[in-house]
Structures are given as C-alpha cells and as structure tokens.
Amino acid sequence: MPYFSDQTFQNLTADDIQIAEFESCTFIGCNFTNLNLQGSSFENCTFKNCDLSNAKVSGVSFQMVRFDSCKILGVHFNAANPFLLEFNFHACQLDYCNFYNLKLKKSNFQKSRLFETDFSQAELNGAIFAGSDLSGAVFDQCNLEKADFREAFNYRIDPERNKIKGASFDLEGLPGLLTNYAIKIG
C-alpha cells in the first residue's frame, strides 16, 4: 500500500485519490464525494474545504484528524476503525452523519452544522460543541459528562437518558434540556 508523509494535496478528485496511508498530510479543496476509502488510514492529517459527502469509511483509520470548513454529509463514521479514533471538526457541515457507539472523548465539533446527526450511545466526555447547530441531532444513552454545549443551539438532550454531569450549557439552551417535561419557558 502506498505511504505518503508530510505532503499537501490540492483539488484532487475521486479519480486522483488512491487508497493509501497518509501521515501528517494536508488535503485542500479535494473532492472525496461517494469515494470508497476502505483500507486507507489518516494519521495527524488536516482536511480544509474538502467535500467528503457520502464517502465510505468502513475500516478507515482516523487518528488525530482535523476537518476545517468541510462538507461531510451522510458519512457513517461508526463504521470506521475505532482504534485511537480522534476527530476535530471546525466550521463543518456534518448533516446526517453517524457517530453511533463511538468513543469520541474530547472531540471538537465547533461552529459546525450537525442536522440529524446520530450520536446514540457515544462516549462524548469533554467533547466541545460550542457554536454548533444541533437541529435534530440524536443524543440517546450518551456520556456527555464535562461536554461543552455553550453557544450551541437547537439541541434536545434528555438528562434522564444521557449522562450530563459537569457538562456546560448556556441559559438560552435550557429549553433543549427540558423538552421532555413539556415545560414552557419565557
């Protein structure tokens, strides 16, 4: 399998991308839409302004990977290799993605849009969702202890179905914690 280290790839399309091991690489403006990345590994890599919508990531290794301003629709990250899995998302569009049952302690989902994203049964201790739109995102039986939801909005989290001890919320987010109680606020 090809190995690439400390390289920058720009404006690649699906025809240009090969299954490989990438270490400390940067991808800028690349289009991974609908691409099957099975067998690839990304360690300490950065994706900037890339489109990974509907990419197939079964068994793909993501270790210390950062996504900046990327479009990532419908990706089933729950199928990725869970070993040392670590993500950081900043200003990304992550609609309809699946993080079911993943261990994502201290992962960042900052200033991102996560419409209908599934976090069911995920370990999100210390995760940061600051400034993110969580419309329709599913948090069910999650560990959200010490997670940061300040400046996040449109979330619905049932405190009885999730562990939220030590998590941070803004007062404006209070309705998202009380939805199941049919309490009117304001």
pLDDT tens digit sequence for 124-158? 999 999 999 999 999 999 999 999 999 999 999 99
Is position 76 within any domain?
no
Is position 181 within any domain?
yes
Question: How many domains does one find in the chain?
Answer: 2
**What tokens does 157 get?**
């989290």
Q: Are residues 9 and 66 in the same domain?
A: yes
**What tokens does 146 get?**
């010490």
**CB 156 within 8 Å of CB 179:** yes
pLDDT tens sequence across 28-87: 999 999 999 999 999 999 999 999 999 999 999 999 999 999 999 999 999 999 999 999
Enumerate residues 6+ apart whose C-beta is below 8 A from 44: 23, 24, 63, 64, 65
Is position 55 within any domain?
yes
Is position 12 within any domain?
yes
Q: Are residues 36 and 111 in the same domain?
A: no
Q: Are residues 177 and 124 in the same domain?
A: yes
Q: Are residues 48 and 120 in the same domain?
A: no
Q: Are residues 129 and 62 in the same domain?
A: no
Q: Are residues 108 and 174 in the same domain?
A: yes
Q: Are residues 106 and 184 in the same domain?
A: yes
Q: Are residues 118 and 66 in the same domain?
A: no
Q: Are residues 161 and 114 in the same domain?
A: yes
Is position 79 within any domain?
no
**Residue 57 lies in domain:** 1-71+84-91
- We report the CATH number of the domain holding residue 8 as 2.160.20.80
**Is the full-model pTM beyond 0.85?**
yes
* Spatial separation of the C-alpha atoms in residues 153 and 120, rounded to whole Å: 18
Is position 78 within any domain?
no
* Spatial separation of the C-alpha atoms in residues 46 and 34, rounded to whole Å: 19
